[in-house]
Structure 1
Amino acid sequence: MNDKIMWALNQQYHLQDNLEQVVPLLHNFTEEQVNRVERFHRTYKKFENTPLRSLDTLASFVGVHHIFVKDESYRFGLNAFKVLGGIYAIGQYVARMIDKNIDELSFEELKSPAVKEQLGDVTFISTTDGNHGRGVAWAARELGFKARIYMPAGSAEERLQNIKNEGAYAEITSMNYDDTVRYTSNLAKDNDWVIIQDTMWEGYEEIPLWIMQGYTTLVKEVVEQLDKAPTHVFLQAGVGSFAGAVVAYLTQSYAQEITFVLVEPYAANCYYESFKQGDAHFVTVGGDMQTIMAGLACGEPNPMAWEILKTYTKIGMCCHESVAATGMRVLGNAIGTDTRIIAGESGAAPFGCFYELMTNDHYAELRHTLQIDKQSRVLFFNTEGNTDVENYRNIMWHGDYAK
């Protein structure tokens, strides 16, 4: 493909019918609910806010007012944000099983021998490209339970080992992500295991919602760290659970309208294809979906996330591998007084798209459509650090995926 970025205007954007239908979903992400999630997370004794970096020199270089990057590579020492969703979902599940309200419990209380005695042996199972599974494995180990994690074909051996290091059984399958999710779901049914997955299907809605709610702690931190609303937010798509949670909370946090942009790899671009189609229903993509942006290699949207994102997202983008690699290099080689940010492939993809559209006149029309200018305050989320160290080094040192 000649274009490093392809983009589609979302024809469902702000349609009145969609706005009316999405309001009940937003009730799951109110300030009150987000405060409840944050309260639980903060009962973990090592909880700390992750930094929000302001890249002022880079902002001046590309021609915007501010660039902000929420750096989740510091979260819980796990190098990614995903643990926030997994631990809240598992916490909710355990609280439900012992007939308690999670609002009355702390992380430490859930680790108690009394809770373990009440529940007995529980095995949590999940599909992951790396970060989500590591978070689930970490949470299960911390609370004294078992975890089984399955990864799609092509997953990095280092990410597999990181999950095993958390005490979980883990393996890489011969299937793509979405087929591995189906396989994992069947295993859970056959063995009476508890599936902790961040996408939904009919009959499996509650735990994925808890995961989405778990992500809002980091968004609340951003709102508290910013002095005013961003004008633009670039978000990783994947199944859309993270992006949906961010959009749901930010939309309710600020009176002014924010322009949201979704970013995916070419190989797994279900939101881009859905926006391009222009219908109220999403489309899915299949195949092996091999991409360095492993955390975004998902071909089927989360239905709840889709309803939120089709209503509030203006543009869907999909990008070449080299775009994510460029994002990694630019963030990792700070200029002026800016702070260096170590971003993995999925963490850097939205920034790579932004950098490309701001520095390549081929995308002047896209800049105009997004109304990005010298007054823009642009927000990004570095969702992962160098979770595949060898690949990170090859990109940063040896120029892999430079074209």
Structure 2
Amino acid sequence: MPYVNPHAVRAPYPENLRQWLSIERAAQSRDWLANCSLLNPLPTPLHPLPDLARQLGLAQLWVKDESQRSILGSFKALGAPVALVRQILERWPDQGLSAPGLFSGEYRARLKDFTVISATDGNHGRALAAAAQSIGCRCVIVLHAQVSLERELAIAAHDAHIVRIRGNYDQSVAEAARLATAYGWQAIADTSYAGYEQIPCDVMQGYGTLAAEVLEQSASQPAQPAFSHVLLQGGVGGLAAGVASYLWQFHGAARPRLLVVEPEQADCLYQSARAGHAARASGSVDSLMAGLACGAASPLAWRFLQPSIDCFVTIPDALAVDAMRRLAAGSAGDIPLVAGESGAAGLAGLSLMCQDVARRKAVHLDAHSRVLLINTEGATSPTVYQQLVGETAHSVLQRQQQWRQAPNAPG
């Protein structure tokens, strides 16, 4: 059953949170990312889905398509590069280094012996490896047993050294921290733990670019949000905290209702909401939604989520697969979209909430609601995508192109 958060508040964005995540620092991150060749230069698309909105009984439904963010296929390309650049600039403040110079590889000779390390379910590690490759430093990525060979090869293609462990994601995070200490490497993780907060904060700050684009594309005004509801994927909480904090600071007490969606068996944020503090998942953590298969909430992210998220929703894997297929299929009014297992989670959570009158009422979803989803990833594991959807991502993209060229295509 979805959990309505009794601690969510509607008030101006707190100053103690602004010291960590702010629109001003997000703007700096966005400026840096403008120099990153890994990223597409234009904002990712914001697509209306009018047919699906009608089916769900909503006024409007929109999806921000992060599968188009970069060649890496996910929103994670916004976080790891920012954290890596900030760490290098702060480590060598007197060397005359700059973000444009770092991204262009200008300082490769100086950085060839600098090593970064992180654990990953796939997308963060790939983004870090690609950023390290372009900047010219070394990269080590720790993978747990459930990460597919396909995702491993995609990371290794960026010259990263791969370390495999037998455990789960949380154990891979611990192993990456151990190796960083043992060899003097720099951990660039997207989750926080005791004594390690600033770098995950930098990662989350990079996600503010996504929120800034949404506000611009939707012509949102501080007192007049374009969206009444925003659904955010869970995981350790980094994406949700990065986007929620930006929207909260921009809109203040008028912010949209914010919902977090995560797998039933990897429900660390749901359990955190019930416990009143950062907690662990109640299930096995093993989920088809690989990017959300996390067992422990990030304590730093939880500082932002506890007062801002209105409802926590858990979904079965099967519902995510249904959502992947629905987005791929498209319709006369809805553009076909490639959404990976984690990317479709927001639609899965929304569908679950719209199936039941009591759930709709609990979060004020009705015929006037204007809802935003974020497709956080494309087919980052093409083989898995084809198995789950029943066609290749290439096939879906072909139909997307045909949809765009149809005489009566919207827009």
Per the alignment, residue 87 of structure 2 pairs with 93
Whichever residue aligns with residue 245 of structure 2, its letter is A
Quick one: distance in 2 between partners of 1:193 and 1:162?
A: 22
Quick one: distance in 1 between partners of 2:363 and 2:286?
A: 29
Q: CA deviation at 1:299?
A: 1.5
1:358-386 deviations in Å (ceiling 9; x for gaps): 2x3xx211101111112111011111001
Per the alignment, residue 228 of structure 2 pairs with 231
Q: Assess if the C-alpha contact under 8 Å between 1:44 and 1:108 holds in 2.
A: no
Q: Is the aligned partner of 1:275 residue 2:273?
A: yes
SS in 1 for 2:69: helix
**What is the TM-score when the length of structure 1 is the normalising length?**
0.90
Q: Assess if the C-alpha contact under 8 Å between 2:123 and 2:291 holds in 1.
A: yes
1:156-212 deviations in Å (ceiling 9; x for gaps): 111111001111112432111111101110001001111110111222111111111
Q: Assess if the C-alpha contact under 8 Å between 2:117 and 2:180 holds in 1.
A: yes
CA RMSD in angstroms, aligned pairs only: 2.1
Any residues of structure 2 matched to 1:81-160 within 5 Å, and which?
81-99=75-93, 105-113=98-106, 115-160=107-152
Per the alignment, residue 243 of structure 2 pairs with 246
- Over 3 Å counting, the alpha-carbon distance change for 1:356 and 1:207 in structure 2 is same
Per the alignment, residue 401 of structure 1 pairs with none
Q: Assess if the C-alpha contact under 8 Å between 2:111 and 2:136 holds in 1.
A: no
Whichever residue aligns with residue 168 of structure 1, its letter is A
Quick one: distance in 1 between partners of 2:268 and 2:6?
A: 15
Whichever residue aligns with residue 228 of structure 2, its letter is T
Q: Assess if the C-alpha contact under 8 Å between 1:9 and 1:276 holds in 2.
A: no
Per the alignment, residue 290 of structure 1 pairs with 286
Q: Assess if the C-alpha contact under 8 Å between 1:98 and 1:119 holds in 2.
A: no
Q: Is the aligned partner of 1:13 residue 2:3?
A: no
Per the alignment, residue 398 of structure 2 pairs with none
Q: Assess if the C-alpha contact under 8 Å between 1:176 and 1:288 holds in 2.
A: no
Structure 1 residues not aligned, in runs of 5+ = 1-5, 399-403
Per the alignment, residue 215 of structure 1 pairs with 207
Q: Assess if the C-alpha contact under 8 Å between 1:327 and 1:348 holds in 2.
A: yes
Q: For structure 1, which segment, 150-159 or 189-198, has the greater mean C-alpha deviation from structure 2 after superposition?
A: 150-159
- Over 3 Å counting, the alpha-carbon distance change for 1:191 and 1:311 in structure 2 is same
Quick one: distance in 2 between partners of 1:112 and 1:169?
A: 20
SS in 1 for 2:312: strand
Q: CA deviation at 1:227?
A: 2.5
| Pairing partner for 1:314 from 306, 310, 316 | 310
Per the alignment, residue 384 of structure 1 pairs with 377
1:123-144 deviations in Å (ceiling 9; x for gaps): 1111100000000000000111
Any residues of structure 2 matched to 1:259-274 within 5 Å, and which?
259-274=257-272
Per the alignment, residue 330 of structure 1 pairs with 326
Q: For structure 1, which segment, 162-171 or 376-385, has the greater mean C-alpha deviation from structure 2 after superposition?
A: 162-171
Q: Assess if the C-alpha contact under 8 Å between 1:97 and 1:119 holds in 2.
A: no
**Equivalences, count:** 383
- Over 3 Å counting, the alpha-carbon distance change for 1:288 and 1:365 in structure 2 is closer
Per the alignment, residue 33 of structure 1 pairs with 25
Per the alignment, residue 393 of structure 1 pairs with 386
1:245-300 deviations in Å (ceiling 9; x for gaps): 100000111252311111110111011122233x3x22213665110011011111
SS in 1 for 2:374: strand
| Pairing partner for 2:55 from 61, 76, 85 | 61
Any residues of structure 2 matched to 1:65-80 within 5 Å, and which?
65-80=59-74
Q: CA deviation at 1:100?
A: 5.7
Q: Assess if the C-alpha contact under 8 Å between 2:8 and 2:307 holds in 1.
A: yes
Per the alignment, residue 399 of structure 2 pairs with none
Q: CA deviation at 1:70?
A: 0.7
Quick one: distance in 2 between partners of 1:159 and 1:24?
A: 38
**What is the TM-score when the length of structure 2 is the normalising length?**
0.88
Q: CA deviation at 1:30?
A: 2.8
Quick one: distance in 2 between partners of 1:112 and 1:60?
A: 49
Per the alignment, residue 173 of structure 1 pairs with 165
Q: Is the aligned partner of 1:372 residue 2:370?
A: no
Whichever residue aligns with residue 282 of structure 1, its letter is A
Q: CA deviation at 1:108?
A: 3.6
- Over 3 Å counting, the alpha-carbon distance change for 1:179 and 1:15 in structure 2 is farther
Q: Assess if the C-alpha contact under 8 Å between 2:85 and 2:99 holds in 1.
A: no
Whichever residue aligns with residue 378 of structure 2, its letter is G
- Over 3 Å counting, the alpha-carbon distance change for 1:185 and 1:109 in structure 2 is closer
Q: For structure 1, which segment, 88-97 or 182-191, has the greater mean C-alpha deviation from structure 2 after superposition?
A: 88-97
Q: Assess if the C-alpha contact under 8 Å between 2:68 and 2:74 holds in 1.
A: yes
Q: CA deviation at 1:88?
A: 0.4
SS in 2 for 1:234: strand
SS in 2 for 1:384: coil
Q: CA deviation at 1:120?
A: 4.4
Per the alignment, residue 400 of structure 2 pairs with none
